[in-house]
């Protein structure tokens, strides 16, 4: 997978997980041009699938580590 870093607007508290409505920490940009938003929990859950269809994944779940419970540091 080729990750292209594009200047994307940061996720805010107004961005909500498409699955559960919690605050979103991942923005998944699809090849079709669409976007999906996920909370850290669902971002992790769907990550393997998302990596197959996403052209870019903006992962801001790292911000959780300083403000809430520690996130799993399985990569990076």
Using CB under 5 A, list all residues that contact Zn ion. Answer: 17, 19-20, 22, 39, 42
Query: Which tokens belong to 54?
Result: 């996403």
From the CB of 28, what's the least distance to Zn ion, in Å?
12
Looking at beta carbons only, is 20 or 65 nearer to Zn ion? 20
From the CB of 18, what's the least distance to Zn ion, in Å?
8
Q: Count Cβ atoms below 10 Å from residue 66 Cβ, excluding itself.
A: 8
CA dist 44 and 6 (Å) reads 22
Looking at beta carbons only, is 23 or 55 nearer to Zn ion? 23
CA dist 7 and 30 (Å) reads 16
From the CB of 15, what's the least distance to Zn ion, in Å?
11
- List of E strands, the chain: 26-30, 35-38, 54-59
Looking at beta carbons only, is 7 or 18 nearer to Zn ion? 18
């Amino acid at each position: 997978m080729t990750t292209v870093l594009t200047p994307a607007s940061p996720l805010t508290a107004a961005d909500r997980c498409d699955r559960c409505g919690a605050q979103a920490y991942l923005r998944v940009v699809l090849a079709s041009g669409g976007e999906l938003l996920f909370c850290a929990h669902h971002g992790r859950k769907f990550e393997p699938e998302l990596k197959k269809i996403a052209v870019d994944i903006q992962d801001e779940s790292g911000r959780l580590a300083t403000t809430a419970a520690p996130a799993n540091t399985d990569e990076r």
